[in-house]
Amino acid sequence: MFLRCPRSKLSVWAALCVLVLCWLYIYPVYRLPSDKEIVNEVLRQGQVWKKNQTGIHLFRNLLKVCCDPRKMFAVTKENSPLGKVLWYDGELYHSRTVNNDTYPLFVQETPLQVPLKRCAVVGNGGVLKRSGCGRDIDRADFILRCNLPPLSKEYTEDVGKRTHLVTANPSIIEKRFQNLLWSRKAFVDSMKAYGSSYVYMPAFSMKPGTEPSLRAYHALADSGSNLTVLFANPDFLRSVGRFWKGRGVHAKRLSTGLFLASLALGLCEDVDLYGFWPFSVDLEERPISHHYYDNVLPFSGFHAMPEEFLQLWHLHKTGTLRMHIGRCPEAAG
């Protein structure tokens, strides 16, 4: 018969359609410029940069509307009272309810005095090696760093030594400090490099990360450390992820660097970025290491670094933030 259409066949086709649509949603058909094209574009722009107050205001407002960084970036007693359900942003259908064990660990409210003046966000790119940017970075009013980077003497000239906020992924606590199940001394000692800064931990992003993060909190609190642990608010991480997805960043997860840059754009008058350069050669096409301190490559496919770079580069070109690639001018002499 003409119109006979077996139901089972139809549903197979429907399922295939849905799959293809999902695939296109996750991996849309678009072409990213090649690394070489990006390098050429950056060289074309050169050192030309002009601050754009309108652009800065506009972007800060966009971030305020989508994500409210000032109130939301950390879990506080104010935004997460007893009984509040925190939904993990890196997992589906997992949550943790704020109870008498966790509530006392939260700060009362966002402790930062905003707006902050000049903020320096330090990515850990190998391009920082021999950049001589340390002094420039250390002169900022508020310095943000990613993933507990080494700040020993040999790096000071290139990356500076002051820190006001440093992120710490639970995976590092696991890898470097045995999840703090054994000695805590090595952890507490190594954290002294960050002075009396805020340690920003995504404790409620992935379920296995919560316990190590809480242990890190207690290890620091028990040792009378000057550091203040702030837990990243999963609602904030999710809203920032959505914000960038809406602007065309197609990654499973944003990099810590883009999160911090977004945070700084929301909290600071002026934002300078250092070490945000996800390519394997520098502007003179010399090969560079992945990080300024090692050459360990991340899992591919998890982050979308060149894509993120282009977003930030666009903000640089419009004068909304300033990106420093290569040597800092003052270091030349």
Residues that bind ligand NAG (CB under 6 A): 52, 54-55, 58, 100, 192, 196, 224-226, 318-319
Which residue in the block uniquely carries the two structure tokens 């350069």? 277
Which residue in the block uniquely carries the two structure tokens 């700040």? 151
Q: Which residue is nearest to ligand NAG (CB)?
A: 55
Nearer to ligand NAG, 156 or 318 (CB): 318
CB of 128 to ligand NAG, least distance (A): 26
Which residue in the block uniquely carries the two structure tokens 């340390």? 134
Contact 172, 200 (CB under 8 A): no
Contact 297, 237 (CB under 8 A): no
Contacts of 303 (CB under 8 A, 6+ apart): 251, 252, 253, 254, 255
Taking every pair of Cα atoms in the chain, the longest distance, rounded to a whole number of angstroms, is 86
Nearer to ligand NAG, 46 or 224 (CB): 224
Which residue in the block uniquely carries the two structure tokens 């904030």? 236
CB of 98 to ligand NAG, least distance (A): 11
Nearer to ligand NAG, 147 or 225 (CB): 225
Nearer to ligand NAG, 206 or 310 (CB): 310
Q: How many CB atoms lie within 10 A of CB 179?
A: 15
Phi then psi for residue 118, to 5 deg, are -95, 120
CB of 183 to ligand NAG, least distance (A): 17
Nearer to ligand NAG, 196 or 295 (CB): 196
CB of 140 to ligand NAG, least distance (A): 20
CA distance 216 to 210: 10
Nearer to ligand NAG, 39 or 220 (CB): 220
CB of 226 to ligand NAG, least distance (A): 4
CB of 196 to ligand NAG, least distance (A): 6
CB of 261 to ligand NAG, least distance (A): 15
Chain mean position to CA 229: 17
| Per-residue tokens: 186 | 């090595």
Nearer to ligand NAG, 45 or 171 (CB): 45
Helix (H) or strand (E) holding 159: helix 153-159
